[in-house]
Amino acid sequence: MATKKKTDGKRSQKVAEQLRGELMNMLLAGEVHDPGVQLATVSAVVLTDDLRLAKVYVRTLNLDADEKTRAAMVKALERAKGYLRRGLAQRLALRYAPDLRFYYDEAVDRGREIEALLRTIEPSKADVEPAPPAAAAEPAPPAVDDDAK
């Protein structure tokens, strides 16, 4: 069994959260002038332990966006990758700016699909059998102490 050091994963997780916050600030402030990223939001950043590669999961604020819009947003972020890396390196005082890879975060969409499926399922009264009544537990007879006699 491998032993974990006290700092395993902590630095990369902290820097990943800082990256997410700074990327959100840059996008919300309108620092990226590409119209394709106007409704983009960063949902998560996963950073390697050596801080060289950051997987950035993004979503659009428009929940009804089609696949074409999502792909265009990811491409726009890829075009702005150099500007974003440079800005992150300056703001976070990192020795090396991590390489940014953008992915569309489909977790919310999957959740909405599952919710819709669950709403369509209506339990039929014939399918649902009532649970048998719980057997009444009889109290145990009191313990008899043979030494007390």
- 7-20 pLDDT per residue, tens: 555 888 999 999 99
pLDDT tens for 39-71 read 889 999 999 998 899 999 999 888 777 888 889
Cβ 101 vs Cβ 56: under 8 Å: yes
Q: What CATH number does the domain containing 96 carry?
A: 3.30.300.20
Alpha carbons 35 and 38: distance in angstroms, whole number: 5
Beta bridge partners of 46: 55
For the chain, the domain total comes to 1
Asked, for residue 1, whether it belongs to a domain, the answer is no
pLDDT tens for 82-102 read 999 999 988 988 888 899 999
- Which range of residues forms the domain containing residue 103? 10-108
Asked, for residue 102, whether it belongs to a domain, the answer is yes
- Could you tell me the pTM of the whole model? 0.69
